[in-house]
Structure 1
Amino acid sequence: MGVVAICAVAFLVHSLLKKETATPTKSTPTSQSQKSAEKAKSSTAQTSESKKDKNLPDSKSTDWDLVLVNRDHPKEEMSPDVVQIDNIWVDSRIGDATEQFLAAAQAINPAEHLISGYRSVAYQTTLYEQYVDQEMTADPSLDREAAEKKVQTYSQPPTKSEHQTGLAIDLSDVDSLNESTTAEQVAAIAPEYGFVLRFPEGGAASTGVDHEDWHFRYVGVANAKYMTEHHLTLEDYLKLLDKK
C-alpha cells in the first residue's frame, strides 16, 4: 500500500508540473494573434496612404500652371502672352477657362465680374506705391515700414505678386475685398474650371497673405480639385509634389 501511495503522489506531482510547464505555451497563439492584428493594421494604414498617393495628380512643381510667385519666391517680369477677357488680360493659355469660369459665376450671381488679371511689374510697382501712400496719409503715425506691412495684407510688392504670371484673376460681385455676397458659391465651382481660391481662410501661415475672397489662381483642373479636396494652399501642394 505504501508503494502505491508513493506512486500516486509522484504521478500527481508530475501532472501538476507538466500543467504548469505547459501554461506559458498557451499564450503563444495569443501573442501571435496580436502580432498578426498589428501587422494587418499597419498594412491597412499603408494601403490607405497608398490610395491617397494614387489620387495625387501626375503633376510636377515645375509645370507652367503651378509657377510660384510670392514674397519668398519673387520673379522678374514674366511677359506672358495674354488675351483680353472682358476688361482684363490673362495668360492666353487660360483664356477659355477664364471665360467659362466667369460665365458659371454669373449664373450664380449676374453681378459677378472680373476686377483684375495680368499686371506687369511696372504697373504693380505703381499700384503698390499708391497703396503705401494712401495708408500713410490715412494714418500719419505710420512710417513706411508699418504702412507696407499693412498694404501687404491685401497687395504684394512688385516682383512678388502672382498677378504678373497672368494666371491670377480677381472675381467678385463687388469691388471691395472680402465683401462678396456669393463668394462661397463661386469658390466651390472654381476647381471645375481649374481655379482655386488662392488665399483661403486659415491659409496665411503658408501663403503669408490674409484671406481674400476674390483672388483666384489657375492651376489646372486636376490640381485644383485635389488642392480643394485636401484643403491645400499652392505652397503646401508644391511641397507635396516635391516629395513624390
Structure 2
Amino acid sequence: MKKRSFIGLILQVLVVVVFIMCLYLFTHDNQVKQVSQSSTSSTSSTSSVVASSKSSSQSSQNQKIDLPDVSSSDWELVLVNRNNIKEEMNPELAEVEGVQVDARIAENVTNFLAAARAIEPNEKLISGYRSVAYQQELYNSYVQQEIANDPSLTQEAAEEKVQTYSQPPGASEHQTGLAIDMSNVNSLNESNAEIVSQIKAIAPEYGFVLRFESDKQDSTGIGYEDWHYRYVGVESAKYMTEHNLSLEEYLNVLKENGK
C-alpha cells in the first residue's frame, strides 16, 4: 500500500514537471515569434523610410537636373507685382497690330497671335505695354468707377475691389512690355473656356504662359484672368507648364538651386 502511494506520488511529480516544461517551451516560443515579428516590422519600417527618403531625394535631384539653363535675374523673368514695385522701365518698343510690346518679343507675339487665330480666328491683341503713368490714370479711373457704382465704398474698399482685376501703378506687368492681353472678346474671363484651354496649351511654344491661373492666387495675389499672357522664354514657359508653377514659384525654385 505504501509502495503504491510512493509510486503515485512520483507519477504526480512527473506530471507537474512535464506540465511546467511544456508551459515554458510554449511561452518561450511565443516570445521568440514576437521578437522576430517586431524585428521584421522594424526592418520593413526602416526600409520604407529609406525608400521614401531616396524617392524624395531623387525627385528633388531630378527637378534640379531638369531646370532650364536660365537665371532668375534674366530680363524675361523680371518680377513685377504688388510685392515687387518697379519704377518706369522704359523698354525699347515695337508695335504688333497696333499694340506696343518689348521689341525683343515682337516676333514671338506675332507668331503666337497667328497660332491662336488658327484655333479661334477672332483672337486679337487687346493690350500690351503700359507706362507707370498710364497705369496710374487707368487705376484711378477704375477706383472712381467703383465708387460711382457703389457710393458706400470707401477709397480703400474701392481700391481693394479694383485690385482683383487691375494693379496699382508700379505693380503691373504691362509696364515691362512682356505682357499681353489677348482674347476673342473685349471682356475679361468671358472667352469660351475650351478656346482658352487650347491657346494656353500652345502658348509655351512661343515663350508665353497664362500668367494668372485660378489655383495660383496664393502665390500671384491675382485672381484668374483668361486673357493675360506673360512672356518668360520658351524653356521657362515649358518648364513652368510641365511643373504647374506660377512665375513667383518658378523664381523661388531657380533661386533655391542657385540660379
Larger Rg: 2
For structure 2, the residue ranges without an aligned partner over 5 or more in a row are 1-20
For residue 176 of structure 1, what is the amino acid of its counterpart?
S
Name the stretch that deviates more: 34-43 or 104-113: 34-43
Structure 2 match to 1:231 = 244
Structure 1 match to 2:149 = 138
1:170 aligns with 2:181: yes
Of 137, 153, 160, the match for 1:126: 137
1:213 aligns with 2:236: no
Task: Please give the secondary structure, in 2, of the residue aligned with 1:73.
Answer: coil
Q: TM-score, normalised by structure 1?
A: 0.85
Name the stretch that deviates more: 50-59 or 121-130: 50-59
For residue 214 of structure 1, what is the amino acid of its counterpart?
W
Whole-Å Cα distance in 2 between the matches of residues 203 and 32 of structure 1?
Answer: 41
**Displacement after TM superposition at 1:76 (Å):** 0.4
For residue 175 of structure 2, what is the amino acid of its counterpart?
Q
1:240 aligns with 2:223: no
Identity between Structure 1 and Structure 2 (%) = 56
Aligned-residue Cα RMSD (Å) equals 2.7
Whole-Å Cα distance in 1 between the matches of residues 37 and 145 of structure 2?
Answer: 78
**Displacement after TM superposition at 1:33 (Å):** 5.6
Please give the per-residue CA displacement for 1:174-218, whole angstroms capped at 9, x wherever unaligned.
010000122111111111111111111122111111111000000
Name the stretch that deviates more: 110-119 or 135-144: 135-144
Runs of 4+ in 1 over 6 A off after TM superposition: 24-29
1:2-151 mapped onto 2 (5 Å cutoff) = 30=40, 34=44, 35=46, 38-151=49-162
1:192 aligns with 2:213: no
Structure 1 match to 2:216 = 203
Whole-Å Cα distance in 1 between the matches of residues 75 and 67 of structure 2?
Answer: 18
For structure 1, the residue ranges without an aligned partner over 5 or more in a row are 1-12
Whole-Å Cα distance in 2 between the matches of residues 208 and 27 of structure 1?
Answer: 53
* Structure 1 residues 130 and 29: alpha-carbon distance in aligned structure 2, compared to 1, 3 A threshold: closer
Name the stretch that deviates more: 185-194 or 37-46: 37-46
Task: Please give the secondary structure, in 1, of the residue aligned with 2:187.
Answer: coil
